A and B are shown apart, each in its own frame.
Chain A
Amino acid sequence: MQFAKFVITRIIAYVLVIWIGITVVFFVPRFMPSDPVESMLGRIMTRGNYMEAEQVEAMRATLTQAFGLEGTLAEQYFGFFHRTFLTRDFGPSLSLFPTPVNEVIGRALPWTLGLLLSSTVIAWIVGNAIGLLAGYRSRWLSSRALEVIAIFVYPIPYYITALILIILFIHINPIFPLFFSIRGDPPSLEFISSVIYNSILPAASIVIVGFGWWVLSMKALSSSISEEDFVYFAKLKGAGEGRIMTAYVLRNAILPQVTVLALQIGTIFNGALITEILFGYPGLGTITYNAVLQADYNLLMGTISISIIAVASSTLIIDLLYPFFDPRIRQR
């Protein structure tokens, strides 16, 4: 019963977050001083195509409809929700006309999610494992050495790390390709191996930049938990070192780390932008960047809406998983 209540409140919060996010996405472009329809028309006109007044009007009407700018603000608002959630149709992309926005996003989203989710999770696992050893076994030389490496790597800005990797492994030692090239079709082994081959460098850059923080925070957590009475008592009970490290220290230290992971997964789309542009990776970051450059409002609204929904959903999933890590939440 308690658990059902917990799930329901989380789901209400989830719906609320998405509603607020989408509302902001709806209003922000409408507060901009420029009219997207007029600027689009202006761009078409300056290309030198001569159009009749009627043609211009027809074009204006088509564009207004494509942008979802018909009717009053309230009608537009409901129309926008209708399109986002029910028909999931954001209209055609303007820069890649006439490809629908859905198709553009649908092609890019799996790449971004695959790269960022896996590299964020790898960084989390590696960082927490090293941090646990460094915190629990602080006298070991190897755990100290790994901690020093983490301290050195952690403050380096992301783009520096990424550029160093590009220079080292693409230009000096051309182990990895400069351009993203995929061979084969989705289910085949060739396809999978070429995806992994092309993704190693961008993934490595995210892992290298990300794991340092996990090492440092996990080290602080696990070394303070190692001082807790229940760990001391576990030693008096004669529990094995491995058992103490996992069931006593890790089980307690991992709780805040799960929370931070949920928050970080929420921000992976920010990271997508720089990573994808630097490595020429065909994900959501690259198309968002291009949409901004080319004033592709439909595509922009689509990518941002998808980001909001994806972020809120991943946070919800972690939130719902959290009780399985901490019995105090499960049975409150």
Chain B
Amino acid sequence: MLRLRDLRCYYDTPRGVVQAVDGVSIDIQSNEVLGIAGESGCGKSTLLKVLYDYLQPPLRIVSGAYEADFPDGAGKVKTIGPGEIRQHWWEFISYIPQGSMSVLNPVIRIENQFFDAVPRDHPLKATGKTAIRERVAAYLKELELPVEVLKSYPHQLSGGMKQRVLVALGTFLHPQIVLADEPTTALDVVVQKGILLMLIELQQQMQNTLVVVSHDMGVHYQISDRLAIMYAGKLVEYGPTDAIFRNPAHPYTQMLIQSLPRVGDRSQRVGISGRPPSLVDPPTGCRFAARCPKVMDHCAHQEPVLLQIEPEHFVSCHLYGEQAS
């Protein structure tokens, strides 16, 4: 569905080049829920922007390849890349943003915010506003959301309702790929669960691809089929979510999972000390070396490569594979 090959995407800033996504290779399959985890500033959101083909200066693709399989409607599948993917926003690939509080324009009605998401050459656009409104209203009814929200302004909706509206906005044209950037951040846990269930149900109904970015490992545990862990612009581990939670290979993944609270376990949670490195001038070798509890001599100057340690489970760490020292 989506193929990334050694993709490097950098921001040009006055302080230098920020290497936000640095050599990421992953295949995203159709009909799967892929989670992308990692702490703030590790490149998760940038990766999502690149997947969405929203490449605005200062962000640019430096090297590597990004391709998508686009069914052209005539039963054929075309390979499209950056610059072409954006032609099919919302009908092929859609985006559910973070921050339900501020992504909706406060002074125009919700329905008008739906109209703006219909691509210019989409057949719905030609049918006019009334037809789009009916379509959206029918879709909201399907999702068991009150149709009155269409006539409302954002300030009249609760945070959870806004996020539900955004999920509806992201899915009402039945896209093949839905990208969700921290869809449950800043919501209370009850609402979070509702949103996650909604996302999963929709994914199962439409049999499409859902990519969820979250720093919350609990969210990934609940909804992801596969999980990719990012650290400092690099993919450090990816594989089936079950395998990763059962057998976390990378020390960073292990620490992320250990930081989750468990029912019945009353011991103090241990955080990961230190902060991720600056992406303007990242360290040589393994980027996690400075914070790694299992750091070895050659970690600081030799970059680890992705290795398969069990079926479908890949990790990039010197603890595994033949040790070249």
Contact = CB atoms under 8 A, between A and B. Distances in A.
Question: Is chain B a partner of chain A in the same complex?
Answer: yes
Nearest to B99: A229
Contacts of A255: 107
A328 B153 contact: yes
A228 interface: yes
Interface stretch (B89-97, B196-204, B258-266): B89-97
B97 A229 contact: yes
B308 interface: no
B116 A237 contact: yes
Contact of A239 (B99, B116, B155, B156): B116
A248 to B, nearest CB: 5
Interface residues of A, number: 23
B106 A252 contact: yes
Interface string A46-81: 000000000000000000000000000000000000
Contact of B153 (A229, A239, A327): A327
B288 interface: no
A230 B90 contact: no
B277 interface: no
A178 interface: no
- Chain B interface main SS type: loop
A236 B95 contact: yes
Interface string A315-331: 00000000001111001
B104 A230 contact: yes
A194 B169 CA distance: 57
A328 B106 contact: yes
A171 interface: no
A236 B108 contact: no
Contacts of A252: 105-107
Contacts of B254: none
A236 B105 contact: no
Interface in B92-144: 95, 97, 99, 102-109, 112-113, 116-117, 119-120
23 contacts: A229-B103, A233-B104, A235-B54, A235-B56, A236-B89, A236-B97, A237-B89, A237-B117, A238-B90, A238-B116, A238-B120, A239-B116, A248-B105, A248-B108, A251-B107, A251-B108, A252-B106, A252-B107, A326-B107, A327-B107, A327-B109, A328-B153, A331-B153
Interface of A: 228-230, 232-240, 243, 247-248, 251-252, 255, 325-328, 331
Given A230-B102, A247-B116, 18 more contacts: A229-B97, A229-B99, A229-B102, A230-B103, A230-B104, A230-B105, A230-B106, A236-B89, A237-B113, A238-B116, A240-B120, A243-B116, A251-B107, A251-B108, A255-B107, A326-B107, A327-B109, A327-B153
